Structure 1
């Protein structure tokens, strides 16, 4: 009897195991480099007889799921496709459509298996490097480096390099990577810049008349006749000047352009750029460098590709036999989701496309989670429309352009999309296109950026436009390292982009070397209706900046050692008055065009933003209704007011101010040096600011030296109505995808990480 019971128990266990196995088999598919599309795809690895095992391709798994859906056999809780570790060479975009959608409670998930690391690559590994034997080539390279520089012929692998181009809307030219790091096209100087010494103001043809009313050295900015001069003897060493390029900030520190050279006169030290020219012309004193010069292949990590012969010359930074050399080949995205819904892409590495890695176009509730994006020719991810689509807990670095481009929602109807970018670590971006390549660009209505850690870039952190967005709990530092007149968060030039909230972010260590420096939050060119609430700014340049706009609120923020904490100008009354003078030849119609584009006098805008109805009759050039209230500012300069602004126009009340400098002001714009500085204790200034509270001592920060800026319970800020900022929630967080922190948690712990190390989960 006992034996029968035991046998019955075993039978039940076997039955349960079988049912469980069938459930797993029905819900699960596998893909592996060792797979075979003739197998069932239901096993994680080949069986002993190699008669069954995982699929080999995405396409086969895709076909299988489509067939399940057609037969009405999609499991109630969806399907998971496990992608085994290894390198998957992608030669053509993997495309999902409506047919590949899941359902709300039955998503289709494509993810890594356990802790394995599948890599989807648009690149090809190359080998066959050897010493250079071509005497003509050796003549062009300094003899000291002959043994260090190697050559290979990618044509042996069927690869033919195309012409060198730098176009933001086209695939980038083939790039070289060594051990997953981007190498550098041979350049001079190896680091830093040369300067334009002069731009001759005579010639046969005026190419660019200049950017009036802006002038430098008495000349309209950018005005040129097709040439400029430089100060260097280096080009005299170059045997050939064909296909030499320059990269520079030719007139403004917020605009970089790659320009091919038509001719170099090494005797006169004159450069003739090839058309198309820089759109902003060329200006004396601006910076540039040469690239794609074989003679300048003179340091580890540099390479040069002869586009005619196809030969690739490379100085590897390490023993080439102990590393992997990869070139980017794919000229299209690795993965596209078009009008899909409830599709998840998880824990996969995407690399070496010469354009974007992943595009989501339309659809609903698609999610990219826990992935790594690196070494790409454009942005990593594009989310274009749809609803509830997002990217969460991903690492993005080494992109030629930005990180994420996110849009969604209807601006005319103010319908929100609820798309999101959350808990992403985005750094070392803008590798090729240095300006307007933000970590995240966002447009539309009702989208969200939260808990992202953004750092180390030449230009902006976030560029956004549209309505009713939320930007919260992000940490941003060390951006704008190469540019000026830029913001960590930037929005500009539209009266109707309202209802945006920037709250609970930490901005720190922002230093822009270019003209006009860096702002943490930059409300540029009449941007209006934005709320900046509960943020922490530490050494954040011109921290909160209102550039002529109205109806903005700066409230309940902490500013420490900022220069200044807040700046407001009335540019519409000074250098930007051409926005409002419709009779002027220099009239800029952007603001009025933006109003017309959304039918501002009709619902929903007339109801949601009734202040727009009276804007034209209410001194539109004047920055009215801006409020600066209940902030804490310490250790820097509190506020700058320009263009005849005063405290009657800007409401400044209930702030706790511990800055040695209270005010810098000018009757002119911030582009003038004719300003006055008013120190703490200046009677008239303190009288004008009497609705605020002043102090000299620490306002109650936990520990300034350790950058712990939470205020203690005894801080006088609370008497003014200040609310505690949830600093403990700012930045990245651990979840099922991100199990190891990779952020600099300066305001929470004493531990700092090495930001130069690329970390994966």
Structure 2
């Protein structure tokens, strides 16, 4: 019997030793391949194996920094709360080894700067709540209340002025319901109040300081509000391209006047016009107006909410059954992740979301790849890339971003060295939610960025604004843009003669227009911008038909722009605007801002610029006798005004169709276009057009 027991103990020890050996072999094998696993149920003290993962991405990155070989950090499915920015600094593995950070297979990996709230903690408001009777009567049976508690009440943050010309700061805590941002309660709900009058403050009794152009009389009476704390106005107070979001100091409901806490960027002009030269343009008169925001008394429809700082409560009217909803608030006020001075890194299959600030920032990086990632629900931009090169952003989705989607800066402008940054097969939808003016889907600067095969749609303003040189915007779909502004274009550049050489090729522009008398173009070269090539694009229902509306393409002052082999269908006009007069040009060339851009920031008289852009030497010649020109060649039109109002726009080989081309749609977008050769009104010009190159798009 004793002998049997000794054998059993001996066998147990042997089995234990074998198991331990296998574990060691597994760890060493995994470390040889440098796979580091992370899980929400892990522990940072673990080795990082699939059975014993680490808990936080930051810990896995620290572990990877000490490796001499390719490292792969694999995130298992889960919701990772990011309470502090994850930083990867000065990272470069020897022998050009790659660091990979990815989600595991098809699992749903979320890096969130927010916090999920328990639905059971949302309670129907009752008469015992001090704000019950502040709410509109029709809302009292629908509004829920959430007590933030001591931890979250300190995370609310604050609202700040925003809009054109304002510094972007982290926003106040936002509420997201089933991954969609809700709206601060407002009045009116879906339109603007007209600015009936701008009143000199001395004529109105207010306790606040009296300064000019801060008192507005609004156009409609409203019911009296019980809670008048921390109310803001949002709207267009003068120019059609500049929105404002400004707090109010006081409100006189009897006189229908509001006193602003600060002076707007461009001042205030009444909706019906003002004394200035440009104050009475029809587009500006149509766009001016505002609404009140962050008003508890106006929480009157599904999808609205209000945060009471004094009470530490959220009041919300849900859009659907709250018991089954996913509810989240934004917490972090910095980017979720920052890569600085880092080389050869790949991030894939990860969702970045929910921040009062940005989601991701790349500084001084090289060879960074972002693939199959999702970016959503930020207060500011999604990704900022500063001084980056060879960045690839592929198959990524951008949605519900507070400001700009992507901000690019890379390459050497003085020597025209390209950044080789590339964005491809990405989608952009519902961006610039909070910072609306000049916050496009993509903002380009530097040299040699390529944007291709992307879908950009449903934005209040621009799709792409670009400065710098030699960008390529190719094979993209732009739809339903610029609805909210005037004097704007879906693709926009301006105010820098040295920013040139960009090519806009094989894109589709659809529904870049407005029923309002706004000035909207699909492609807009502003304030002297030139040297842009617009080739082989399809424009459908672009431009605006008002008396001062823009064409599908609008040029304000610039020259040497080439518009070649495009198709225009049901557009207001092909082109509006053109080069400035010689006297205007000469005045522009002497401006301090212009000189700084063409002589200091870069030098357009340098050999590299003269070789790349020989036309710059000619157009900056103040003694130039012949007019500066733009070139329109071999374009095809249907039901589009071809009037040329500027003789310096040279039209050649224009083909007019008398039968509409056949457009075939799939999933709401044009997939193919077929032209009927027999429908050409002037067949003698057919020989100048290669129709075979125009039959198929996408």
TM-score bin (small chain): 0.7 to 0.9
The answer on 1:556 being equivalent to 2:556 is no
How far is the alpha carbon of 1:588 from its aligned partner?
Answer: 5.5
Query: Secondary structure of 1:604's match?
Result: helix
Match of 1:225 among 188, 197, 213: 213
Q: How does 1:661-700 map to 2 (within 5 A)?
A: 696-697=658-659
Match of 2:618 in 1: 614
**What TM-score do the two structures reach when normalised by structure 1?**
0.78
Q: How does 1:84-233 map to 2 (within 5 A)?
A: 84-99=76-91, 101=93, 104=96, 106-127=97-118, 128-130=121-123, 131-134=125-128, 136-160=130-154, 161-167=156-162, 168-200=167-199, 203=202, 225-233=213-221
Cα distance in 1 between the residues matched to 2:625 and 2:191: 40
Is 1:325 matched up with 2:327? yes
Residue 72 of structure 2 corresponds to residue 80 of structure 1: yes
Distance (Å, rounded) in 2 between the aligned partners of 1:55 and 1:445? 41
Partner residue of 1:543 out of 539, 552, 566: 552
Q: Which shifted more, 334-343 or 192-201?
A: 192-201
**1:177 aligns to what SS in structure 2?**
strand
Aligned to 2:640: 636
Q: Distance in 1 between matches of 2:558 and 2:250?
A: 46
Distance change (3 Å), C-alpha of 1:408 and 1:186: same
CA contact (8 A) 1:491 1:522 kept: yes
> Is the Cα–Cα contact under 8 Å of residues 503 and 533 in structure 1 kept in the other structure?
yes
User: Does residue 255 of structure 1 match 2:242?
Assistant: yes
Cα gap change, 1:103 to 1:93, in 2 (>3 Å):
farther
Paired positions, count: 629
| Contact 2:236/2:243 (<8 A) preserved | yes
Paired residues for 1:214-363 under 5 Å:
225-234=213-222, 236-275=223-262, 277-285=263-271, 286-363=288-365
Say yes or no: does 1:521 pair with 2:512: no
Equivalent residue for 1:599, pick from 600, 603, 612: 603
Partner of 1:754: none
User: How many Å apart are 1:481 and its aligned residue?
Assistant: 1.9
Distance 1:702 1:317, change over 3 A: closer
Closer, same or farther in 2 for the Cα pair 1:248/1:240, shift >3 Å?
same
> How much has 1:232 moved relative to structure 2?
2.1
Shift of 1:59: 2.1
Distance in 1 between residues matched to 2:659 and 2:303, nearest whole Å: 51
SS of residue matched to 2:332: coil
Q: Give the Cα–Cα distance (whole angstroms) in 2 for the partners of residues 20 and 142 of structure 1.
A: 63
**Shift, 1:204, TM fit:** 8.3
In the aligned structure 1, how far is the partner of 2:504 from the partner of 2:34?
Answer: 42
Q: Secondary structure at the match of 2:470?
A: coil
1:566 match: 575
Give the whole-Å Cα distance in 1 for the aligned partners of 2:105 and 2:631: 52
Task: State the Cα distance separating 1:454 from its structure 2 match.
Answer: 0.1
- Secondary structure at the counterpart of residue 60 of structure 1: helix
8 Å CA contact retained: 2:134, 2:227: no
Task: Report the alpha carbon displacement of residue 262 of structure 1 after superposing the two structures with TM.
Answer: 1.1
- What is the aligned partner in structure 1 of residue 49 from structure 2? 42
Give me the whole-angstrom Cα distance separating, in 1, the residues matched to 2:87 and 2:432.
27
Q: Is the partner of 1:251 in helix, strand or coil?
A: coil
Alpha-carbon distance in 2 for matches of 1:246, 1:122: 28
What secondary structure, in the 3-state scheme, does the structure 1 residue paired with 2:214 have? coil
CA 1:271/1:620 → structure 2, altered by over 3 Å: closer, same or farther? farther
Q: Secondary structure at the match of 2:615?
A: helix
Distance 1:297 1:378 in 2: 25
Instruction: Look up the SS of the partner of 1:601 in the other structure.
Output: coil
Match of 1:684 in 2: none
Structure 1 residue 457 displacement after superposition = 0.6
SS at match of 1:509: strand
Would you tell me which structure has more strand in proportion to its own residues?
2
Structure 2 gaps, min length 5:
1-21, 205-210, 272-287, 544-550
Check whether the contact 2:598–2:604 (CA below 8 A) recurs between aligned residues: yes
Once residues 410 and 226 of structure 2 are traced to their aligned partners in structure 1, the CA distance between those partners, rounded to angstroms, is 52
Distance 1:448 1:465 in 2: 13
SS in 2 for 1:637: coil
The answer to whether the Cα contact below 8 Å between 1:578 and 1:588 also exists between their aligned partners in 2 is no
- 1:103: Cα distance to partner? 5.5
Q: SS at 1:352's partner residue?
A: strand
Residue of structure 2 equivalent to 1:755: none
Partner of 2:514: 512
Q: Secondary structure at the match of 1:237?
A: coil
Within 2, Cα distance between the matches of 1:654 and 1:279? Answer: 45
1:709 aligns with 2:695: no
In structure 2, the residue matched to 1:666 is none
**8 Å CA contact retained: 2:586, 2:622:** no
Aligned pairs for 1:451-466 within 5 A: 451-466=453-468
TM-score scaled to structure 2, two decimals?
A: 0.85
Structure 1 residues 19 and 175 mapped into 2: Cα distance closer, same or farther (>3 Å)? closer
Rounded Cα–Cα distance in structure 1 between residues aligned with 2:382 and 2:61: 23
Deviation, 1:65, is 1.6
Q: Secondary structure at 2:141's aligned position in 1?
A: coil
CA RMSD, Structure 1 to Structure 2 (Å): 2.8
Shift of 1:292: 0.8
- 2:688 maps to 720
The residue that corresponds to 1:212 in the other structure is: none
Q: Secondary structure at the match of 2:246?
A: strand
Q: Deviation at 1:711?
A: 3.8
User: CA shift at 1:98, angstroms?
Assistant: 2.4
**Aligned partners of 2:80 and 2:128: how far apart in 1?**
36
Contact 1:504 1:726 in 2 (8 A): no
